[in-house]
Amino acid sequence: MRTLPYLFLMMVFAATALQAQSATIPASFAGTWNGTYQGDGAGSFVLTLADDGSSVRVKQNDGNFYTVPLTVSFERDALTAEGVIPGSASQVSLEGTLSDDGLSGHWSTQDSSGSAAQGTWVAQPTP
């Protein structure tokens, strides 16, 4: 299922060209986060949370990157982010919680045929 990790990776990352509207980013979440994901796919990503556009940039196993503009909402120490992978109808969702250890949570993707993937992720702020 090579397309499932690809779908997750695409959600991470061409924010300058394709910016999504987001809620005001709380200071505790704002910035760049480096992370890894696992489950139905595995790899690394960079999550950018900014008032002028949030995105996730995912690195595929073949070394290519995909960027997905995100719409993000926050409630206390939790975030929910959703986006559509550019060039496809595949949707990506992230749910996470902020703690002293960084951000962590669950991710999922679903394409137009109903094929889905899911897993967990963790991220640390970039110094």
What is the percent of the chain where pLDDT is above 90?
55
Tell me the average pLDDT across 89-94: 92
The pLDDT of 76-102, averaged and rounded, is 92
The pLDDT value given to residue 9: 43
What DSSP string describes 26-93? PTTT-EEEEEEEEESS-EEEEEEE-TT-EEEEEE-TTS-EEEEEEEEEEETTEEEEEEE-TTS--EEE
Residue 10 has pLDDT above 50, yes or no: no
Residue 47 region, left (φ>0) first, then alpha (ψ -120 to 50), else beta?
A: beta
**pLDDT value of position 30:** 92
Residue 23: per-residue pLDDT: 54
Of 78 and 17, the structure prediction assigns the larger pLDDT to 78
Report yes or no: 69 and 58 within 8 Å, Cβ to Cβ: no
- Mean pLDDT, rounded, for 95-119: 94
Q: Is residue 103 predicted with pLDDT exceeding 60?
A: yes
67-82 pLDDT, tens digit each: 999 999 999 999 999 9
Tell me the average pLDDT across 23-37: 89
- Residue 97: CB atoms within 10 A of its CB come to 14
